[in-house]
Amino acid sequence: MASLSEFDLIERYFSPLGLTSSKSVLLGSGDDCGVIQTPAEMSLCFSVDTMVEGVHFPKNAPPFELGYRALAAAVSDLAAVGATPYFFTLALTLPDANQDWLAQFSSGLKVLVDKYHFPLLGGDTTRGPLTVTIQVHGLLSKPALLRSGARAGDVLAVSGTLGDAGAALDFLSIDLNSESLEEDQQFLLSKYYLPTPRIELGQILQDYASACIDISDGLLAEAGHISRASKVKVELNLESLPLSGALLRLKDVDGATQLALNSGDDYELLFSVPIDKWSEFCSNVPEGLVTQIGSIVAGEGVELRGKSMDIANKGYQHFE
Ligand code: ADP
Ligand code: MG
């Protein structure tokens, strides 16, 4: 990218997301490195995610939603370990420097920058096929929630509803503001494009959960990760999966259950809580936010109970 327009572009669309008034930021975007003061007694955690056009989002995805979703997906990893968002960096590869696109993409990022007071402190901007890479950093005042702490006897639970983002894949090509979109389709599309990272829940879970993971690749796949990391069996009750009204109006129960098990992109949290802490935990979370969907028992693997059906696959994998 010609250097003048590259620097103008960064100056106009990304530097304002730096929130350099924040006391801990010693140097934001604009120099060879950013510099940040880490608070004493806290640990810094980090995670990087890449989204590639045509793989993680459709061609011609709306830029506001793309910016929001790329950052929300990355922030969801901070939620899963119970961290507070601290700052992020952005490596953006663009086919061209379309100002209108950049303004909207930057506004999508800004929603979460403002919500969590979470500055963008640097990055890289290059020309090529549209790709968004975001590295997020978070602060932890207690040990991170891991995938490996689940124990036999724990309750298994999930936040929100499952399968909504997966159902939206059928009509991603329809414009979000199109009149031909029905209300339920609109709801599911907004679940796909505008997921809510469960930061507040992750922080509550720090005091209660034995294991936690965010659902980016589908419930079955993530339950498998907890099972392997914790060396336990995960029992899922298919009758208990939280399914939205919109999903159930568009699919039959079996179709909705398949999506809840196998489709990704919901960015909800899947976690285990020791049974003796469960009722106190429930009294500390907003009504309706979490649902018990099974339990942890001795053994290995993921067992599906409560309903017999053929399960198609086990989540999205890039190299299989
Ligand atoms: P260098 O060549 O020294 O690596 P660059 O020319 O890549 O620096 O970037 C110049 C400055 O702009 C750096 O401070 C970098 O962090 C920042 N920057 C580049 N791209 C972005 C972006 N997409 N978002 C935020 N800051 C960016
Ligand atoms: Mg340099």
pLDDT single digits (tens) 34-63:
888 889 999 999 999 999 999 999 999 999
CB atoms within 10 A of CB 274: 17
DSSP H helices, the chain, are: 3-9, 63-81, 99-116, 164-168, 183-193, 199-205, 219-230, 245-250, 253-262, 275-283
Nearest ligand to the CA of 131 is: 1
Of 17, 33, 125, best ligand 1 pocket probe by most atoms within 8 Å of the beta carbon: 125
pLDDT tens-digit series, residues 2-13: 444 788 899 999
With a 6 A CB cut-off, is 123 part of the ligand 1 pocket? yes
Give the long-range contacts of residues 50-59, CB within 8 A, separation 24 or more: 50/131, 50/132, 50/133, 51/131, 51/132, 51/133, 52/129, 52/130, 52/131, 53/129, 53/130, 53/131, 55/318, 58/172, 58/173
For ligand 1, atom 7, name the residue with the nearest CA.
Answer: 124
- Please check the confidence at residue 318 and state whether its pLDDT lies above 60: no
Please check whether residue 129 is in contact with residue 66, taking contact to mean a CB–CB distance below 8 angstroms.
Answer: no
What contacts 100, CB < 8 A, 6 or more positions away?
none
* Centroid of chain to Cα 186: 20
**Cα separation of 145 and 196, whole Å?**
19
Q: Which atom of ligand 1 is nearest to the CA of 122?
A: 16
pLDDT of residue 178: 81
Q: Is the CB of 16 under 6 A from ligand 1?
A: no
Read off the pLDDT of residues 15-26 as tens digits, 9 standing for 90 and up: 999 876 566 777
Choice from 3, 5, 29, 120 to test ligand 1 binding pocket (greatest atom count within 8 A of CB):
29
CA of 102 to the centre of ligand 1 (A): 16
310: confidence class by pLDDT, cuts 50, 70, 90 = low
Residues with CB in 5 Å of ion ligand 2: 32
Instruction: State whether the beta carbon of 8 lies less than 6 angstroms from ligand 1.
Output: no
Lowest mean pLDDT among 8-22, 124-138, 259-273, 287-301: 8-22
